[in-house]
Structure formats: C-alpha cells, structure tokens
Structure 1
Amino acid sequence: MKKEKIWLSPPHMGGNELKYIQNAFDTNWISQYGSNIDEFEKSLENYLGNSSYVTALSSGTAAIHLALRLLNVEEGDFVICQSFTFVATANPILYLKAIPVFVDSESLTWNMCPDMLEEAIKYVIQQGKKPKAIITVSLYGMPFKVEEILNISRKYEIPIIEDSAEALGSKYKGQLCGTFGDLSIISFNGNKIITTAGGGILISRNAAAKKRTLFLATQAKDDAEFYSHSEIGYNYRMDNIAAGIGRGQLETLEKKIEQRRKNHDFYQQAVKNNNDIELFSAPNSDFYSNYWLNTVILKNDFLKENLKEKFSQNNIETRFLWKPMHLQPLYKGYKFFGDNLSGTLFDTGLCLPSGTNLTDDYRARISNVLQNEIY
C-alpha cells in the first residue's frame, strides 16, 4: 500500500477560518468589501508595527506591481532586482515595460549581494538614468542583509521594494521583515506560512500611500458620482471571504512560526553526521528566519542526481531551488551583475518538506531517506 503523500508546504487551517467565512455569508458581504478585510488589515498593521499601512490584495504579485506604480515606474525605466527568486518578483517590471537589471546573491543569506548591487547602480547611472527602484527578497524566509542594502539605497536615494513574500514573521535584529522597505509585500499563497487561498498585501509607510494603493487596486475610479476614470487601474483587491480565511490563519501565526523553526531543528539533527548535505541556516543571531522552507545544498554528484528521486519513491515531495532570473529564457539578454552564485545554488540545492502539519511519522519517513536510503 502506497504511503500517504508528504507535501512540501501544504495549507494548514487554524480553526476559526470558517467562523469568519460564515460571517461574510451572514452579512452578505461576498465581495471586495466587508469587515473581514478591514479587520485583517488592522490586525496585520498591529502585528507589523513600525508605521505599517496595509492594503489587502489579490496576490503578492499584484502588490509588487502596485509598488512599482506607486514609485512611478514607466516604460524604459530601470529597476534593479534580485535574481535568485520566484519569477513573480520580476514579472511586474515587464508589465510596465521597464527594464530589469539583475543582481546575484551573497553566500550568507542567499539574498542580494550589496557589492554587486552597487555595481549595478553605477552601471545604470552610466546609461543616463538612475534606477527607479531596488527589489530585494528575503528568500525562503531568510532576511536579506538589511543594513548594507538600506545604506546603499540611502546613498543613491533609490527606494526599496522589499519582497517578503516568504518571510512573514522573520526578523532582522528584532525588527520584522515587511517593515524595512519604502514599500513592502507579503504573499498569502496556498503554500505560505499563512494563507488566504491566494492573496497578498502591500505595506506602505503612510496613509497617503495606502489610499493611493487602494485607488489603483479598485480600477482607479475617480471621485465622482458616476464611473469616471482618468488613469489605468486594476482589479487587485482581496475579497471578504479570502480575508476571513486570513483572519483565522493570522490567529495561529506565532504557533506556525514555532512549528516551522522546529522543522529546522529536526533537519539539523537529521543531517548533522552527513558532510555531503549542508542545511541552509541563519548566519548569526541578527537573522531570525521563519524557515518557511528548509533547504539543503548537496555536495556530491550522486546526491544531486539521486536524492530527489529517493524522496519521490517514498511519496515525499521535494523541489529544486528557484531558478535565477538571469538564467530564465524570459529574461535572457537582460543585464546581470554577479559571479553566478545563485546559479550554483540552483544546481546543487533542494527544498525539503516544511509544513506546519509535519507529524512525527512524517519526520521519521524523511529521516529514514536522509540517513538510510540515500547511498
């Protein structure tokens, strides 16, 4: 009999989601208006602190798109973007017919390399323009090198869009990810640490930016009694049912972070005696990761060729690391700054099951593959 599937990062309901969904039905707010949206935004603003103004949207991708719009990115503008990320980080640049410039990772956090970032900025300035924005990512829940990147941002007066899609609850020196950028985003896709069955948020630093975000996210309707539109807008608002799921999920966030971090402790023990497997971990105490996904680097060719298949034979889902943007066919020909560290990580890395509902039985099956079946 085939064993039950162990998924990489499945949704995990917290208990009160149905209560808030039922409230949407009871009040007949089955739309992009309603108390669930208002309360979800308020709860996130309280959680994040640091002058965070939250707008609930249909996806994290929509949030990045609107962040670029808020920064007046237009056709022909340059936007510097971390290469090692999911494609949704970069695609909104092309939505606006702007020009992405990709920056490689550094080895400690796997996120944007400050040295390569500065080289990229200097290159763009030599083209006669200053970059309109820098998009940096906290990959797999690991905060980027916040101080170095922010110092460069301030030096050249280029705003930061902080892609914390995977990093809700992660911290740098005690401050939550999602609060460092001029604009920040978080995703609530089905595989994230909490979900709204899709969805995301744009986090701005003042009420005016939040008002502008909401305007663009609801078709940019002018202040008139009839439907009048002076600029292009989008249907990007989160709906009241999705926000109800989010309210229930948010109530269990701290427990989910604790569970993800316990998964990391489990993997540390599972691979501690194997010199051919290196678990990606926080470089020091300044970095507090939610360990949304636990990832490993495989140090010999046999493991690279066989470990994923061994997991698959045991009905355990794994996934390769993100293929960097500068290696994607879609982005062939765009400028890239770095030594292809991200490409090496892609070639040698693997994501392991990291869900908050990982049971002791599941851990035993995973551990058996890692310790007994890989050679």
Structure 2
Amino acid sequence: MAAIPLRVGGEDAQRVLESPGILVFPSRAPARAPRLRLHLSPPSLVGGELAVLSRTLTDGWIAPAGPVPEQFEEAVAEAAGFRHTAAVASGTAALHLGYRVLGVERGDEVWTQSLTFVATIAPAVQMGARPRFLDVAAESWTMDPNILEDQLHKAATKGKLPRAVVPVDLYGQPCDLDAILAVCGRWGVPVLCDSAEALGAQYRDRPVGKGAALAAFSFNGNKIITAGGGGALVSDDPALIARARHLATQAKETAPHYQHETTGYSYGMSSVLAAVGLAQIGALPARVDERRAIFDRYAAALSDLPGLSLMPEPAWARSSRWLSVIQIDPKAFGATREAVRRALDAAQIESRPVWKPLHMQPAFRGARFHGSGVSGQLFERGLCLPSGSMTAEEQGRVTDVIRQCCRG
C-alpha cells in the first residue's frame, strides 16, 4: 500500500511513514458515534497517530530514545517559538526540572498565583521550598503584576527575594508576561512560565512564555495537543535545556561506567508517547481555532442571561480557550454555580469548578497569600464547561441546561 503524506510538526512526514509492510492511514480524525456523556476535554485524534506509532514500534523504539522523541522536540520548539526543547514524562516533570535548573533549594521561596492547579507549585514544595501565593487580576484571571511588584519591593528591602516567580497561563489565557518580566528583571528574579494549559495561545503576537527563562507545557490526555501524557520544558538558553536533559536521564556523566555527580530522574518521554504527539502537533492551529469557536458559541448562546459572564480576554492576549469558563452571580442568575454543575451532571454533561485557590488548600496551610480575594471569588462562581471537539447539537445540550437553570 502506498504511503499517504501526513503533516507532522509542520513538515511532510513521508520520510517517517514510508516503510514496506506498514499500513498508513490518512490524516483525518476517525468518525465517532454520538456520545451519551459530554466530557470537559476528551482526547481528540487527528487520524495519523496509528501510522507514526506503527513505524516507531516496527523500528523497535519504545523507551525514551531514538529518532522520534528528537523529532517531537523539534516540532514542539517550532510550535512553541523556542529554540530548545526537552521532551519529558509529564508537565509536572517539566516544572520540576525547571525548578532544578533555576537552582531552587530547601528554604527558598517560590512565588506563583493562587488560582492554578497544584502541579504548578508541588515540585518546588517537595524540594523543600516555601510557596507564596499571589492573587490574580480580574481582567485576565492570571497573576496580578501590581501585587507582584509590591511584594517584590517589600521582599527586596528585607533581602528575601524569591528564587523564582511562576506565572500561569490559565485555561489557555496568557499571563501579562511583559509586565511580570519587567518587575522581576528589576530585582534579577528568574521567571518560569507554567504554560501547561496554553500551547498555541498568543501574547502580544508571540507564543506564550516567550521571554521567560523557561516555560513548561503538558501533553496530558485532556490537552489541545495530546500524546496521552508527557510534557516539555522549553527555553532559548541552550545551557538550561542541556542541564534539564542531564537531570532527566538520571544525571549520568560521560563515562564507560555509571558516574553521578548529582542525582537525577527517569523523566524522558517514551518513543510511544512522542509518536502520538508528533502526529498531533501539526493540528495545533486548527485545534485553537476550534476551541475559540466553541467559546464564541457559548458567548452567543449565554451572554444574554443575567448574572452570567464568560472568562475575559485582555486586548494583549489571544487565548487558546483550552477550556471555556463562565462565572455565575447567584443573586442575579437565580442559581448557584454548584446548582448548575449538578444540573449538568444529571444531564450527562461534565463540568468542573475553577481551580480551588492554593492558599485555600489544606496542603499549603500557613502559606502566605497577597491580594483582595479575586481568586476565591472566581472559585466560588466559576464553572468550566465542555470544550473539546463536539457538534453544535452537543454544545446545545450544554447551553439548554444552563438556560433552564436561570431564574433571574
């Protein structure tokens, strides 16, 4: 059977796929049956995964070695707009390596926004660092640069600056990175951008995270581009990525025997995951357009309801809209966020409250928080809606239930 060209990583993948005896499938998503239950962000296939995966297995590559992880790294670097990439086992692993290469040690402070997933800060805490949580800005739901500036100024006067600042591109929404970099640059504090949820988003017409010392991405099963797992640490500094690669492969030194000057991790991305990611990544622009269209349909169908608003998008951002998120004011809407979530669940539709702020989590009891409480209010009122590939009829199921809940 003749091989059918497949776009992967922005390049023709004919050279990857042509091999005697390998069945190659066209690069289009397979048809699926109508779904009873709608999920938040289920994996979406482009149709070429099996072809790249078949070639990888036929060539005998399974472990984190061989040509496919390297090809995937090149594709991620191109898509993310960075010069250097280390593909690793998860987005959390990428963040962990980022903390290591930035020199985070026991007793150091690491600052991040409170409204985020626990993986943003967990590796640093496990390393013995002390977290400090900052509130988000209402206009972006990402780290408030004014609060950051105020707290860095106070910390500098005490000689207790953080080892790193970690803004988050939340739900695909870019943080105000230039403002954060300007403030951190004044005191020489490095920035590690948690962009796990935001591959494909744009900040001031450049990719998210661009300008930070490092950025981390995730290819978990629920992300816009998935490998079924895995992550990537990216940077324009080759030394940082070289150091991360070294640590990701158990920190083995060059020697005929096993020599270790420090300890590392088994964090390499397997060839199997890399093959799936390689097939997917060429679809990134189309996936972002699709997610943004889903958000626009929610806006058109729900924005007339009293007490309901959608996640804002600042003029300097083009969100990937990884998840579409609404806010519900219970007094004006006539029902609480939780009541809407339960009604959706009864209709076989998954939804989820926005991240519970980390300063409210028992795991970080006693950690310092600075802000006016925007994060907490968003948690009380915010609800993430199904945002993956779905038909207009399926999305209509979601909006119909929400409209039925409105008593305003």
What range describes the TM-score normalised by the shorter chain of this pair? over 0.9
Aligned to 1:303: 336
Q: Tell me which of 299, 318, 325 is aligned to 1:288.
A: 318
Q: Tell me which of 360, 367, 374 is aligned to 2:399.
A: 367
Any gaps of 5 or more consecutive residues in structure 2? 1-33
Q: Tell me which of 32, 56, 59 is aligned to 1:27.
A: 59
Aligned to 1:101: 132
Q: Tell me which of 49, 60, 68 is aligned to 1:36.
A: 68
2:76 and 2:314 map into 1 onto residues whose CA distance is 28
Kept in 2, the 8 Å contact 1:57–1:63? The answer is: yes
- Aligned: 1:313 with 2:343: no
Kept in 1, the 8 Å contact 2:177–2:209? The answer is: no
Of structures 1 and 2, the one scoring higher in RCO (CA 8 A, sep 6+) is: 1
Q: How far 1:260 sits from its partner (Å)?
A: 0.2
Q: How far 1:327 sits from its partner (Å)?
A: 0.4
Kept in 1, the 8 Å contact 2:88–2:269? The answer is: yes
Aligned to 1:111: 142
Task: Name the Cα RMSD after superposition.
Answer: 1.5
Could you list the per-position Cα deviations for residues 131-183 of structure 1 after superposition, in whole angstroms to 9, with x for gaps in the alignment?
11100001011111122111101111111000000111111111011323111
Q: How far 1:127 sits from its partner (Å)?
A: 4.7
1:217-236 to 2 correspondence within 5 Å? 217-236=248-267
- Aligned: 1:139 with 2:170: yes
Aligned partner letter, 1:362: E
Kept in 2, the 8 Å contact 1:303–1:374? The answer is: no
Aligned to 2:299: 268
For the residue of structure 1 that corresponds to 2:167, the secondary structure is: strand
- Seen in structure 2, the aligned counterparts of structure 1 residues 339 and 373 have a Cα distance that, compared at 3 Å, is closer
For the residue of structure 2 that corresponds to 1:115, the secondary structure is: helix
1:170 and 1:40 map into 2 onto residues whose CA distance is 19
1:344 and 1:303 map into 2 onto residues whose CA distance is 13
For the residue of structure 1 that corresponds to 2:86, the secondary structure is: strand
Aligned to 1:169: 200
Aligned to 1:45: 77
- Aligned: 1:179 with 2:210: yes
Q: How far 1:373 sits from its partner (Å)?
A: 4.6
Could you list the per-position Cα deviations for residues 98-128 of structure 1 after superposition, in whole angstroms to 9, with x for gaps in the alignment?
1111111110111111121123223433553
2:109 and 2:209 map into 1 onto residues whose CA distance is 23
Aligned to 1:247: 278
Aligned partner letter, 1:256: R
Aligned to 1:354: 387
For the residue of structure 2 that corresponds to 1:185, the secondary structure is: strand
For the residue of structure 2 that corresponds to 1:252, the secondary structure is: helix
Moved over 3 A (4+): 122-128, 372-375
For the residue of structure 2 that corresponds to 1:184, the secondary structure is: strand
Kept in 1, the 8 Å contact 2:173–2:320? The answer is: yes
Kept in 2, the 8 Å contact 1:111–1:136? The answer is: yes
Aligned to 2:11: none
Aligned to 1:16: 48
Aligned partner letter, 2:77: E
TM-score by length of 2: 0.88
Aligned partner letter, 2:40: L
1:222 and 1:294 map into 2 onto residues whose CA distance is 46
For the residue of structure 1 that corresponds to 2:401, the secondary structure is: helix
Aligned partner letter, 1:280: M
Aligned to 2:25: none
Q: Tell me which of 360, 368, 382 is aligned to 1:327.
A: 360
For the residue of structure 2 that corresponds to 1:251, the secondary structure is: helix
2:98 and 2:191 map into 1 onto residues whose CA distance is 10
Q: How far 1:190 sits from its partner (Å)?
A: 0.8
Q: Tell me which of 206, 215, 220 is aligned to 2:237.
A: 206
For the residue of structure 2 that corresponds to 1:137, the secondary structure is: coil
Q: Tell me which of 155, 167, 179 is aligned to 1:148.
A: 179
For the residue of structure 2 that corresponds to 1:155, the secondary structure is: helix
Kept in 2, the 8 Å contact 1:14–1:251? The answer is: no
Could you list the per-position Cα deviations for residues 235-255 of structure 1 after superposition, in whole angstroms to 9, with x for gaps in the alignment?
111100000010111021111
Aligned partner letter, 1:342: S
1:305 and 1:205 map into 2 onto residues whose CA distance is 43
Aligned partner letter, 2:232: I
Kept in 2, the 8 Å contact 1:101–1:120? The answer is: no
Any gaps of 5 or more consecutive residues in structure 1? none
Q: Tell me which of 81, 100, 104 is aligned to 1:69.
A: 100
For this pair of structures, how many residues does the alignment match? 371
Aligned partner letter, 1:327: M
Q: How far 1:3 sits from its partner (Å)?
A: 7.0
The alignment-based identity, stated in percent, is: 37
For the residue of structure 2 that corresponds to 1:197, the secondary structure is: coil
Aligned to 1:195: 226
TM-score by length of 1: 0.96
